[in-house]
Structure formats: structure tokens, C-alpha cells
Amino acid sequence: MERKQKIMENLDLYYNELRDLIYQITVDKDGWLNFSKRLLHILQASYVHIQAIDFSYHVLSYSYGVGDLPVEAYAAAELDFLHYPIDSDPRWGKFLYPERKGWYQCHTHVTDEFVQQSELYQNILLPCHLRYVATQDLIWDEKLCVFWSISTSQQRQPLNQTELAFLDRLLPHLKRIVMVQRFVYEFSLENIVGYHLIDRISQPMMLLNLSGHVVHYNQTMQSFLENNPSLDVIDHKLILPECDQQQFTATLYAIEKAFRYQQDQLQYFKETQFPAVTTEYSLIIDLLTSEKEMSFFGVRPLVMLTFDTSMGITLKNNFNSKQKYYLAHGDLKQAYKLSKRELEVCDLFVNGLNLEQISVSCNITLGSLRTYLKRIFAKTQTNSQTELMRLLMGVAMDYEIKENQ
């Protein structure tokens, strides 16, 4: 009892310092890093981790960890963990159990025998000294769960009750900070580049997180899934033909690696043509990064998938027979000085036609079309097809939907 009291008295010496560091999180971009590093040192822990699950979309929407090893040592482990099947990690079920109260600690049910046989522990966790974890939720409601974890090594052993009691004193302050920054941890489709536009496009389009979990797709994509047995969405996860699935998963992994550790490489993941083996469709993968994703460590971005199913080209007369979007040519011409041909290209583009279809419809070569697009990009100050689409469809007053005429 005397030793326990001594430990608590020693920890109490750090309370004011840690509390003050918590309130720096909202004003200092390195706030979480500074707080976590200090806590690691005080507790002699291995890793401090804050994560979020957005229940609305069934995805891990945020993950940011700080450890006692160099950042490079965690890179592969963090990526592997983010892409590891949740069902294969026994800790999730216990932590998310609705009747659980207080701190979750894995050593109460994850045995040494299990650890010795577990790929998760042997290949991902133990090499980073992450044998034990104590986890507590900071937000838990019908939409969002934000939780805070402290991991310790086999040698260090789990956090004891005295240490958890000390952390309990910090929890009210952490909860206040997390509530203030709630928008960081949840998916807000209102702020996702491309969300509003994909429901208005006649081409199959889908939003995924980097674990392959589906966040949203348009009605055309729904019809495409129903009519294409080689594709499916099972348990909110996109399933491609077996010949493509492994490469697709590896591509998402590479994108997340670049986003977290090699942001100078992100340019290579803008409108990337996926090398599908099957000839039933072609697929473009486009990383969506808004100011939110680039400003806050840990936010997991989305990718937009655009499926091109037109192995047969849709000709202009066929296109004109369908419901379409009519851009306000006068406004666009006045604002961006677009020529008649450039406006025609924008009309076709905003209605979901791909470059090959547009070139056929305009009776020009693909080379000429790309020249027109470069001019349009320059005049509208956009840098990609995604940004151009956002501009054309993001201003609601600039167009109207007309039925067949």
C-alpha cells in the first residue's frame, strides 16, 4: 500500500505539466506529439495512440500514434495494422463490447499462448514492443468512437491500477480537447472533394477509404454492381475479380504509405490508371486530399474510383437522348473566357463522358482533346480532371438539370 501511494505521489508531480500540454493540442500542430512523448517518458510506455471509428461509414477514420522508437520503425507496422482485418484482432470485440466500462486492458483475455501463434502480434506488434495495451474512449456516441491507447512492452508489463487512476485524472481534459476537434476524427462528406459531384455523374463512381471500405457510391455505380457479377460490395468492402484484388489492395497500401510518410510522392496518385487484368472494365484511382487531410496528422484520406465500362463508345446522338446537365455557358464564358469548343468539352465532361468518348463526340483526336483540356485547366486555374469537375458542378447556380427535350 505504501509503495502504491509512493508511485501515485511521483505521478502527481507530472499532472500539471501534462494537463498544460493537453491544452496546447488545439493551438500547436505538434501538440499531440509533445503530449504523447512526455507521457511515454513518464510511464515508460512504448506507444501512445489515438484512433477513431466512424460508425456511420463503418471505417477507421483517424489513426495517429507516437512511440519510443524512430518513426521509420513504425512505418510498415502502422500500415500493416491499418490494413489488418478487424475480425482477426481479438481486442476489438472486447473493447467495443457495449457493456464494457472503464479501461479496456488486453492482458485480461489475450494469453501468451495466443500471442505466440498470432501473426498480428509476431509480425506487427511485438517488433515494436507493443505487447500490452490499455484503452479508454474519449467520445462514444451513435456516430463516432474516439479512443486513446497506451501500449507497453513484455518487459514493462501492463499499466497497473495506480497508473490508470492517474490517467483518469487527465481524461476530462482530453475529452474536452477531442470534443472541440471532433470534426477532425469523423468523416464529413460535406468537406470531401468530389462527394457532391459523383451523385450527378452518369459514370460509375465510388468513394473508399484506404483499407478498401466503401464510404459512398452513386446510383450508376449501384446499377453497375447489379449488372456486373465480377464486382461486389460485401460487408462494406469492395471486392474485385481475384486477378485484380491483390494488386488493388497493394495500390491502396502504397497510397497510404505515401500520404503518411512520403507526401512528395502524392502526385503519382492523382488520377492513376489501375492496371486491371480483366477487360470488363477500366478503373481510375484518384486520391482526395482536402485542407483537412493535409492539416491534421492521422486523418485517413479517401480515394475516388471511376469505372469506365464503355468498351463500346457512347456516341453523341446517344448521349443527347439522355437526361443531361447543361452548364450556364454565359457565366462560364464571362468568368473564364472559355471558347465555344472548350464549353462543348466541359458539357460532355460534366455529364460523365471519358476522354475517348468526348473525342469521338467532338470528332477530334485524343491529342487535340488533351490540348483543349490543358487550356481549360489554365483558364479555370485547376490542375486535374477532379478539380475541374468540382469547379463545374460545385456551383449549383451554374447549371440546371433538364429532362429529355
Q: Domain holding 388: CATH number?
A: 1.10.10.10
Q: Which residues contact 254 (CB under 8 A, 6 or more apart)?
A: 269
Question: What CATH number did the domain enclosing 268 receive?
Answer: 3.30.450.20
Rounded to 5°, angle at Cα 218 from 216 and 223: 120
Phi, psi of 343 (to 5 degrees): -65, -40
User: 308, 342, 361: which is the final residue of a domain?
Assistant: 308
Lookup: cell for 321: 437522348
| Cα distance between the two ends of the chain | 85
Whether residue 204 sits in one domain with residue 181: no
CATH number assigned to the domain comprising residue 127:
3.30.450.80
Classify the C-alpha dihedral 192-193-199-203 as positive or negative.
negative
- What is the structure's pLDDT at 395? 44
Domain residue limits at 354: 316-402
Lowest average pLDDT, out of 42-56, 151-165, 373-387, goes to 373-387
The pLDDT tens digits for 37-65 are 999 999 999 999 998 888 877 777 788 88
Residues 235, 339 within the same domain: no
Beta pairing class for 232-234 and 237-239:
antiparallel
Q: Say which DSSP state 235 is in.
A: T
What does the pLDDT read at residue 72? 75
Say what the pLDDT of residue 328 is: 73
Asked whether 379 and 338 are in contact (CB, 8 A), the reply is yes
- Within this chain, do residues 18 and 74 fall inside the same structural domain, yes or no? yes
Judgement on whether residues 321 and 345 belong to the same structural domain of the protein? yes
Share of the chain above pLDDT 70, in %: 82
Domain identity same for 55 and 130: yes
Q: Can you tell me whether residue 16 is helix, strand or coil?
A: helix
Which of 349 and 173 is assigned the larger pLDDT? 173
Q: How many folded domains does the chain comprise?
A: 3
Q: Please answer whether residues 121 and 115 qualify as being in contact, where contact means their C-beta atoms are separated by less than 8 angstroms.
A: yes
CA–CA separation, 325 vs 72, rounded Å? 49
Give the pLDDT band (50/70/90) at residue 128.
Answer: very high
**Are residues 39 and 145 part of one domain?**
yes
Residue 334 identity: Q
Are residues 199 and 169 part of one domain? no
- Can you read off the three cell numbers belonging to residue 272? 492513376
Last residue of a domain, one of 148, 168, 185: 185
25 shares a domain with 142: yes
In this model, does residue 216 exceed pLDDT 70? yes
Residues 274 and 324 in one domain: no
pLDDT at 317 over 60: no
Q: Could you read off the pLDDT of 73-84 as tens digits, one per residue?
A: 777 787 778 777
Asked if 53 and 141 touch (Cβ cutoff 8 Å), the reply is no
Q: Note the pLDDT of residue 396.
A: 32
Q: Are residues 33 and 169 in the same domain?
A: yes
- Of 175 and 349, the structure prediction assigns the larger pLDDT to 175
Confidence category of residue 193, pLDDT binned at 50, 70, 90: very low
pLDDT at 8: 60
Q: Mean pLDDT over all residues of the chain?
A: 80
Please give the Cα distance from 1 to 389 (Å, whole number): 67
